[in-house]
C-alpha cells in the first residue's frame, strides 16, 4: 500500500533552475568559460561539485580539487543571495494543492533533494510544514542516480520503498527511485522521463486524483 510521498525540490516543488543558471553564468563569464542553457539543463538534479565538473569538461578544462571547491563556493554564494528574492508565490503551479491534499489525507511526506540549500528554499516558500522529513544534499554522501537520498527519506518516515511514490524532474532522479525500489512519477518530457512509472508534463497535472487512479490497487 502507498503510505508516503517523497518529493524532489528543484523542478518539482519550485523552479530554481533559472537561478542556478544565472549563478553559474556569472561565474563562467568571469572565468571565460562557455556556458549556456543547454549545458545548464545537464545539471538538473546533480550535485554542485558534479555540476562544476560538467562545466569544466564542456570547456575541456580541469582544476585541482581546492580550486574547484573555491569556484563552486563562489557560484553558491551568488545562488544563495538570489534565493532571498524567492517568496511563497514561487511554488510551481499545482504543487501547493497537492501538498495540502496529502496533509489532509494523512499521508507521510518527505523531501529528497540533492541541494544543500533545500531548507533555505523551503523557508522562502514557507513550505516546511508540508514535510515530515527533510532529506537534502547534507543527508547522504552518494547523490542521484544512487537511491540513497530516497532510502534516507523512506527510513525516516518508517516506510518501505514500495510504500512510497517519488516525484522527480531529473533522469538521474528517476534512475535513483527505480534503483531503490520506489514507485516513480516523472515531471517533464517523455525524452527525459520516459522510464518513470507515470509521467506528467507539469505538476499542475499531477493531482492526487490522477495518482490514485493510476496506482489504484495500491491505495
Fill in the per-residue mask, 20 to 59: x = in contact with Mg ion (CB under 5 A), - = not in contact.
-------------------------x--------------
Measure the CA–CA gap between 22 and 28, rounded to whole angstroms. Answer: 10
**Does 175 help bind Mg ion (rule: CB under 5 A)?**
no
**Does 135 help bind Mg ion (rule: CB under 5 A)?**
no
32-41 long-range Cβ contacts below 8 angstroms, 24+ apart = 33/58, 33/59, 33/61, 34/58, 34/59, 41/17
**Does 147 help bind Mg ion (rule: CB under 5 A)?**
no
Neighbours of 182 (CB within 10 A): 28
User: Residue from 136, 148, 169, 175 that binds Mg ion (CB under 5 A)?
Assistant: 169
Q: Tell me the sheet residues that pair with 208.
A: none
Q: Work out how close the CB of 195 gets to ligand B16 at its nearest, in angstroms, rounded to a whole number.
A: 17
Going from the C-alpha of 152 to that of each of 19, 34, 58, 186, the distances in angstroms are 27, 36, 32, 20
**Does 154 help bind ligand B16 (rule: CB under 6 A)?**
no
**Does 19 help bind ligand B16 (rule: CB under 6 A)?**
no
Angle, helices 118-125 vs 65-83, to 10°: value is 10
**Does 180 help bind ligand B16 (rule: CB under 6 A)?**
no
Stretch that binds ligand B16, among 3-11, 55-63, 100-108, 208-216 (CB under 6 A): 3-11
Going from the C-alpha of 47 to that of each of 20, 31, 84, 114, 173, the distances in angstroms are 12, 21, 21, 6, 12
User: Residue from 28, 35, 51, 176 that binds ligand B16 (CB under 6 A)?
Assistant: 51
**Does 117 help bind ligand B16 (rule: CB under 6 A)?**
yes
**Does 82 help bind ligand B16 (rule: CB under 6 A)?**
no
Measure the CA–CA gap between 149 and 140, rounded to whole angstroms. Answer: 6
Q: Which active-site residues does the annotation give?
A: 8, 10
- Site residues (CB under 6 A) for ligand B16? 8-11, 20, 43-48, 51, 76, 113-117, 137, 170
Amino acid at each position: 500500500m502507498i503510505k508516503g510521498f517523497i518529493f524532489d525540490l528543484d523542478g518539482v516543488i519550485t523552479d530554481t533552475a533559472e537561478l542556478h543558471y544565472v549563478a553559474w553564468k556569472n561565474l563562467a563569464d568571469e572565468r571565460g568559460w562557455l556556458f549556456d542553457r543547454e549545458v545548464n539543463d545537464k545539471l538538473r538534479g546533480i550535485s554542485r561539485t558534479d555540476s562544476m565538473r560538467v562545466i569544466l569538461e564542456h570547456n575541456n578544462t580541469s582544476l585541482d580539487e581546492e580550486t574547484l571547491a573555491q569556484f563552486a563556493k563562489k557560484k553558491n554564494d551568488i545562488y544563495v543571495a538570489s534565493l532571498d528574492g524567492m517568496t511563497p508565490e514561487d511554488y510551481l503551479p499545482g504543487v501547493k494543492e497537492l501538498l495540502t491534499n496529502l496533509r489532509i489525507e494523512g499521508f507521510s511526506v518527505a523531501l529528497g533533494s540533492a541541494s544543500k540549500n533545500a531548507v533555505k528554499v523551503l523557508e522562502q516558500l514557507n513550505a516546511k510544514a508540508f514535510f515530515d522529513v527533510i532529506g537534502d544534499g547534507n543527508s547522504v554522501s552518494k547523490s542521484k542516480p544512487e537511491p540513497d537520498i530516497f532510502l534516507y527519506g523512506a527510513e525516516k518516515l518508517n516506510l518501505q520503498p514500495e510504500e512510497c511514490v517519488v516525484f522527480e524532474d531529473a533522469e538521474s532522479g528517476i534512475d535513483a527511485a527505480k534503483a531503490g525500489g520506489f514507485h516513480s512519477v516523472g515531471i517533464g518530457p517523455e525524452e527525459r522521463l520516459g522510464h518513470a512509472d507515470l509521467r506528467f508534463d507539469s505538476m499542475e497535472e499531477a493531482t492526487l486524483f490522477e495518482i490514485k487512479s493510476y496506482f489504484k490497487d495500491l491505495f
